[in-house]
Amino acid sequence: MITSRVKLRHLQTFVEVARQKSVMKAAELLNISQPAVTKAIGELEEALGVDVFERDGRGIRITRYGEVFLRYAGSALTALRQGIDSVSQERFGEAPPIRIGALPTVSTNIMPRAMELFLAENTWSRIKIVTGENAVLMEQLRVGDLDLVVGRLAPPEKMTGFFFEHLYSEQVLFVVRRGHPLLRGRQAIFPDLGVYTILMPTRGSIIRPFVEQFLITNGVANMPNQIETVSDSFGRAFLRSTDAIWIISRGVVAQDIKDGILCVLPIDTSETKGPVGLTMRADAVPSGPLSILMQTIREAAAGMREAQ
């Protein structure tokens, strides 16, 4: 039977190669040789009777059959982790771990309050919060390394196999330090953007397409002096000592604006508004502690909406 020929190492190797899109990187992370990775993938393809990867220039890409199998392989590894965690819980009295992926805007604006509410429930669950770009977090969710992603709604083509629950909508802002030259008078802002250093969201970030479309719509086709970053700590530090303009989601800088540390340029960015919410695998059943955490995230989001 096929199932008896597919081993755990085959699934682990396949999922890691799919996630890294590289045999070399997968080998490094799995701490095995590249030939061992290649052999495991070959054995899996022989057992399945189809190719799960194909060459793409100098790299590789997953095939249509591989995409189908990835959903089940990721779910199988997740179920195995949950089984191990459950045994650990029975032996040591520990609650199962909850692994959350959160965009920087959510990590700053929602998760601190959500965690306060969650800890008050005394579930004693271990929590792991990972912050990063949306594409990275969604891939980790897809393969079972995360239980939940809190952030912007991904493009439709990236939502296959996922369920999204809308919490609130958020727009992008252009922020500067207090006393910035563009805050004086009523001069047009877009013609002068090229004079200043622009902190842009990275190309892999979920808000980048919204920002690019907004700039083009307003006649800004080129900004020669820009830095791509999703680091909120860098953005805050850089704006304190320069006249740079930071293009960032409202949630990341909401407290800085409230405290008067940063100021919003008078630009109507309402068209950059997008939905923020909870994303899970469609076939996942949340544990009791995860359900509680999801509810505290909803409460924190509702409190933020009321405060705005």
pLDDT of residue 239: 95
- Of 69, 85, 113, the last residue of a domain is 69
Q: Are residues 134 and 176 in the same domain?
A: no
Is the pLDDT score of 84 beyond 80? no
Q: How many structural domains does the chain have? A: 3
Task: Kindly state the DSSP code that residue 218 receives in the 8-state scheme.
Answer: T
Task: Please give the pLDDT value at position 124.
Answer: 78
Whether 152 is in a domain gets the answer yes
Residues 208, 174, 129: CA angle, nearest 5 degrees? 55
Task: Say whether both 244 and 221 belong to one domain.
Answer: yes
177 and 235 in a single domain? The answer is: yes
Answer yes or no: are the C-beta atoms of 65 and 50 closer than 8 Å.
Answer: yes
- The verdict on 225 and 259 lying in the same domain is yes
Chain segment 106-146, per-residue pLDDT in tens: 888 899 999 999 999 887 788 999 988 888 898 889 888 89
- Identify the pLDDT of residue 94: 57
pLDDT, residue 241, reads 92
What's the CATH number where 36 sits?
1.10.10.10
The 10s digit of each residue's pLDDT in 221-240 is 778 889 999 888 999 999 99
Same-domain check for residues 283 and 234: no
Query: For residues 133 and 112, what is the distance between their CA atoms, to the nearest angstrom?
Result: 19
Q: 124-143 b/e with 16+ CB inside 10 Å = b?
A: ebebebebbbbbbbbbbbbb
In order of 80, 124, 145, 148, 297, the CA distances from 288 in angstroms are 18, 12, 18, 14, 14
What pLDDT, on the 0 to 100 scale, is given for residue 19?
Answer: 86
The pair of structure tokens assigned to 195 is 């004079």
Angstrom distance (rounded) from CA 112 to CA 117: 9
Residue 144 lies in a domain: yes
Question: pTM for this one?
Answer: 0.64
| DSSP assigned state of 261 | S
- 287-306: pLDDT as tens digits: 888 999 999 999 999 887 65
Adjacent-strand bridge partners of 172: 249
What is the average per-residue pLDDT within 48-62? 87
- Top-confidence residue, 303 or 95: 303
pLDDT score recorded for residue 89: 55
Q: What is the mean pLDDT of the chain?
A: 87
Is residue 75 in some structural domain? no
Q: If you count them, how many residues does the chain have?
A: 308
CB 221 within 8 A of CB 249: no
Same domain for 268 and 183: yes
Q: Domain of 162: which CATH number?
A: 3.40.190.10
Q: In terms of DSSP bridges, do strands 198-200 and 162-170 run parallel, antiparallel, or are they unpaired?
A: unpaired
Same domain, 164 and 284: yes
Q: Calculate mean pLDDT across residues 95-111.
A: 84
* 208 pLDDT higher than 60: yes
- Tell me whether residue 60 is in a domain: yes
Does one domain contain both 192 and 267? yes
| 80 vs 91, residue with greater confidence | 80
Angstrom distance (rounded) from CA 259 to CA 262? 8
Mean pLDDT over 151-164 rounds to: 88
- pLDDT value, residue 90: 46
Q: Which domain holds residue 113?
A: 95-169+274-307
The SS3 call for residue 155 is coil
- Reading the block at residue 48, the tokens are 């399945």
Same domain, 158 and 287: yes
Q: pLDDT-based confidence at 2, cuts 50/70/90?
A: low
